[in-house]
Amino acid sequence: MKEKIRKLLGCLVAPSAPIIAVAFVLCVLFVALALSMLLVDYVGTPLEILAYVSFALAAITFGYTVYIIVRHFPRLKRALSRAVDSNRITRTLKENYSIRTLTAAAVGFLTSIAYGIFNGALGILYLSVWYGALAAYHIVIAFVRGGTVLVHVRSTRLSTEGLESLRRARSYRNSGILMLSLNLALSSAIAQMIFEDRFFEYPDWTVFAYAAYAFYKITMSVINMVRSRASEELTVHAVRDINLIDAAVSVLALQTALLHAFTDGSVDISLFNTLTGSAVSLTTLTLSVFMIVKANKRINKIKTELNNAG
């Protein structure tokens, strides 16, 4: 009996492929069952025992799944690295930070368009000007991202490196000008939101998903902005700066939605909106001006180099 128990523990400590597959399947099933129990009123009903059993099994299988992932992470990492290196496209994305950034910007273009359409649909559903404003904002952001990627691709076809850098620097400046213009409209909307007590409101089924997405965006935008400092590509810097502005606006919209959804009137919502709105507007203004100034310096430098070379 002891030998069988020892053998079973050995299989669990160093699981084979079939055990790993079964563990993952059970984890998904029990977690789904536990979540479904949360959606019903099980207290004082025959489902109460099932609910507690499902919670326990979900915790056990989830913990064991995490153990498997941690145990096999180095092996999975090596296997993934070999798979990435075996393909020319994925290998290029892995090794070239600029291409990886611009590829992410292209994906971000589609995401922003979809997000803009989503907010536009909410604007129509709730007859809200504010959702319409947010929809328009994200669509403009999407086209600025898309334009930056397009300029980068087209500039690679130019005959000299100087002309290539000049076009990208001008694109960086134009992005800054667009962000500065957009900030004027954004500041006006923020002022109306503060003084007229306007706010964004999301359906209950979307507010938590939106919260997770907003905090993910702000975290990744800050991390990537720090990483991009090592790159000389202004198109890369443009994408990172735009992402930070986009994330800041998302946090503002999220804050107004959460405050109006989960406060009972004892909180001074106007004060929080004033502080966050001012911070967002100032961040957008600072980054926009920085982009314009930096781009102009780079443009003048490139023109001087081209004239000296000519």
Domain limits of the chain?
A: 2-85, 96-309
* CB contact at 8 A, 258 and 269: no
Q: Which amino acid is at 78?
A: R
From first CA to last CA, the distance across the chain in angstroms is 88
- What dihedral do alpha carbons 101, 102, 103, 105 form, nearest 10°? 90
Q: Which of 239, 234, 216, 217 is nearest to 104 (CA)?
A: 239
What is residue 19's predicted lDDT score, i.e. its pLDDT?
Answer: 78
Q: Which of 58, 60, 68 is nearest to 17 (CA)?
A: 68
Collapsing DSSP to helix, strand or coil, 279 comes out as helix
Q: CATH topology for 96-309? A: Alpha-lytic protease prodomain-like (1.20.1510)
310 residues of the chain, pLDDT tens digit each: 677 777 777 777 777 777 788 888 888 888 888 777 766 666 667 777 887 888 888 888 888 888 888 777 777 767 676 776 677 666 666 666 566 666 776 777 787 788 788 878 877 887 766 677 777 777 888 888 777 777 767 766 655 666 778 888 888 888 888 888 877 767 766 776 667 666 555 655 566 667 777 777 788 777 777 777 777 777 778 888 888 888 888 787 777 777 766 666 666 777 777 888 888 888 888 888 998 998 899 888 888 877 776 5
Q: Write down the pLDDT at residue 183.
A: 79
Predicted local confidence at residue 244, as pLDDT:
84
The amino acid at residue 107 is V
**How many angstroms separate the CA atoms of 119 and 3, rounded?**
62
Residue 165 in tokens: 């850098």
* Structural contact between residues 190 and 252, judged by C-beta atoms closer than 8 angstroms: yes
* Residue 122 structure tokens: 């909410």
pLDDT of residue 167: 82
